Amino acid sequence: FNSDHTQINNSKTYNGNMSIHIGTFNGQIDERCLHTVLKNCLFEHCQTGVFFCYGAQYSSCQNLIIKDCMTGVSMGHRDDYNEFENCLLDGNVCGFQFRKDLGLPIKDIRFQSTTVQNSHNWDMHLSTPCFFEGLESLTYSLGKIHNPHFIND
């Protein structure tokens, strides 16, 4: 999706490459994709559950279940101000991946009652500095965070 105000409700994806790809697709530094809403979705056995791409901002992910994927959620360049509420990332190889696309920090990722569990490698893999809000309401295994010194609350 590369348009503003896209809403997806009650979607189910099995055995896909990228279940949902939110962003501008072309990597233009000045483009953004704003206010995508994902609600009540199940993404299972996919390469990536939700992929934020180049300027996906102000998105709301509510009541998502992302299971048994290689990467649950992947975020990178200018994917700022996104929120995860009542989401479960379960049994993925990597729960949240924060990419270092252009080396810029990812800002203001908000968590509310979100759980990352049973990850095969990392609950969170941070390749760039990240600034989080509500990290205390994210349940994860501290031992399964790669580069945890980048976490700021």
Among residues 57, 38, 45, the alpha carbon closest in space to that of 18 is found at: 45
**What is the pTM assigned to this prediction?**
0.86
**If pLDDT is split at 50, 70 and 90, which confidence band does 143 have?**
low
The two beta strands, 71-75 and 94-98, are parallel
Q: Cβ distance 48 to 71 under 8 Å? A: yes
Amino acid code (one letter) for 13 = T
**If pLDDT is split at 50, 70 and 90, which confidence band does 153 have?**
very low
Q: Cβ distance 121 to 94 under 8 Å? A: yes
pLDDT digits (tens, 9 = 90+) for 76-100: 878 889 999 999 999 999 999 988 8
pLDDT digits (tens, 9 = 90+) for 9-43: 777 777 777 788 887 655 555 567 788 899 999 99
The total number of residues written for the chain in this structure? 153
